[in-house]
Structures are given as structure tokens and as C-alpha cells.
Structure 1
């Protein structure tokens, strides 16, 4: 699952969040490596947030 997630990140997310997932404030892409959660940190909330923005 991690390998598949990496493929999706590299294809969809990396353009805004960067290779290091540190984000890009100018694009409004948050840092995914810190402990600041914009929409909740539960597994269900993370899945919901990703599903809303990742066209799988």
C-alpha cells in the first residue's frame, strides 16, 4: 500500500506539496510533515480529505 501511495503522491501531490512534502505557501499547499492539521488528524478524516482532492 505504501508503494501505491508513493506513486499517487509523486503523480498528483508532489507538484504542490513538493518532493519533501514540506508544502508551498504561495500555492496554498500545506506542509504535510509537521503536526499542524487543517482538517483533522484521525485516519478517517485524512482519508476523507485525500479522497476529496485526489482523482483516483
Structure 2
């Protein structure tokens, strides 16, 4: 994954996170989304494993 793709994921997860937090409802999947946003934003060592998982999931749904 290059910087452009990572930036696109950060923007995507950031916008979704802001919209969901503003709705004042935070179910479990929103917590997962916020966690993913944090991993992409922070570029932690777990970033590469989570990045591959997210790409795999998006590839499966983008058939």
C-alpha cells in the first residue's frame, strides 16, 4: 500500500467516524471503525496486518 492509498483510507474512515459520532450512537461496529481509523492514522506496527485485512475485505465486496 502506498501513501496515496493510506491517505484515502484515513480520509474515508475519518469522515465516517465524524458522521457517526455526531449521530450520538456508537454501536460495536462504530467502535471497530474508529479503531481502524486510529490504526491508519497512527501507522502503528499493526498497521500492515490490519491494512491487508481491510484491503482483502474491500476486494471481496467490490466484486
Tell me which protein shows more helix as a share of its residues: 2
The one of the two structures with greater contact order (alpha-carbon pairs below 8 A, sep at least 6) is 2
Please say which structure displays the higher CA radius of gyration.
2
What's the TM-score, normalizing by structure 2? 0.33
**TM-score between both structures, scaled by the size of structure 1:** 0.35
